[in-house]
Amino acid sequence: MKTDLNYIKKLIKILEGSEVNELEIEEEGTKLRVLKNKPSENQIPQFITYAPPVQQYQPQVSQASLSQPQAEHLIKEEKKEESQESVKKLLEVRSPIVGTFYRAPSPNADPYAQVGQQVSKGAVLCIIEAMKLMNEIESDYSGKIMKIHVENAQPVEYNQLLFSIEP
C-alpha cells in the first residue's frame, strides 16, 4: 500500500470535500483509516495506520537432540502450560462494532464494570460510541471480570477483545 504523505493528503482532501465521515483502506496487510471531525471543530481529519502483527520465531527443538533431564524438563513444562490453560478458561467479551470505548455513562459517573466484580448475563459492561450513538455493551456471560483489555476513551475495532470473564 502506498503510505507516503502525498497519498494520505489526497485521501484527506477527498474526504473533506465529501459527505463521507470515515474511510478505511486495507491492502497487503496494512490498514489506513481516515476519520473526519465535525466541521465546527475546525480540525484536520485524523488518520491511523496499522501494521500487520509480527510473528514471533519459536525454534522447534526435537526431544531426541536433548539430554534425558532436558527432555523430561521440557515435557513437564508443556504439561504444566496445558494444565494452566485448562484451569483458566476465560470467557471473552468482544466489541461488536468499531467506535470509542467508554467505561462509564459520563466522565463523572462510576464505571459500569471493575476488575474483580461479579457480573450477570445481560449486565452493561461499557459503552461504545459509534457515529455519535452510544451503544451499551452487555455481558453474554455470568462470572467475575478478570481483565479489562481497553483503556477508557480509546478507539476499538470490530471483534477486539474488551473483557475477560471467569465463569
Enclosing domain of residue 37:
5-50
Q: Are 105 and 127 in contact (CB under 8 A)?
A: yes
Is the model's pLDDT at 81 over the cut of 70?
no
Average pLDDT over residues 34-53: 58
The last residue of a domain, from among 50, 67, 82 = 50
Note whether 41 and 107 are same-domain residues.
no
Average pLDDT over residues 48-70: 55
Q: Is residue 75 part of a domain?
A: no
Q: Is residue 65 part of a domain?
A: no
* pLDDT score of 78: 60
112, three cell numbers? 459500569
Phi then psi for residue 158, to 5 deg, are -60, 135
What percent of the chain has a predicted confidence (pLDDT) above 70? 65
CATH code of residue 127: 2.40.50.100
Q: Is residue 76 part of a domain?
A: no
Q: Is residue 117 part of a domain?
A: yes
DSSP string, 10-22: HHHHHHHTSS--E
Q: What is the enclosing helix (H) or strand (E) of 71?
A: helix 68-87
Q: Are 162 and 149 in contact (CB under 8 A)?
A: yes
Q: Is residue 123 part of a domain?
A: yes
Q: Are 138 and 112 in contact (CB under 8 A)?
A: no
Note whether 96 and 41 are same-domain residues.
no
Q: How does pLDDT run across 106-156, given as a tens digit for each residue?
A: 989 999 999 999 999 999 999 999 988 999 999 999 999 999 999 999 999
Q: Are 45 and 15 in contact (CB under 8 A)?
A: yes
Q: Is residue 67 part of a domain?
A: no
Q: Is residue 113 part of a domain?
A: yes
Q: Is residue 80 part of a domain?
A: no
How many structural domains does the chain have? 2
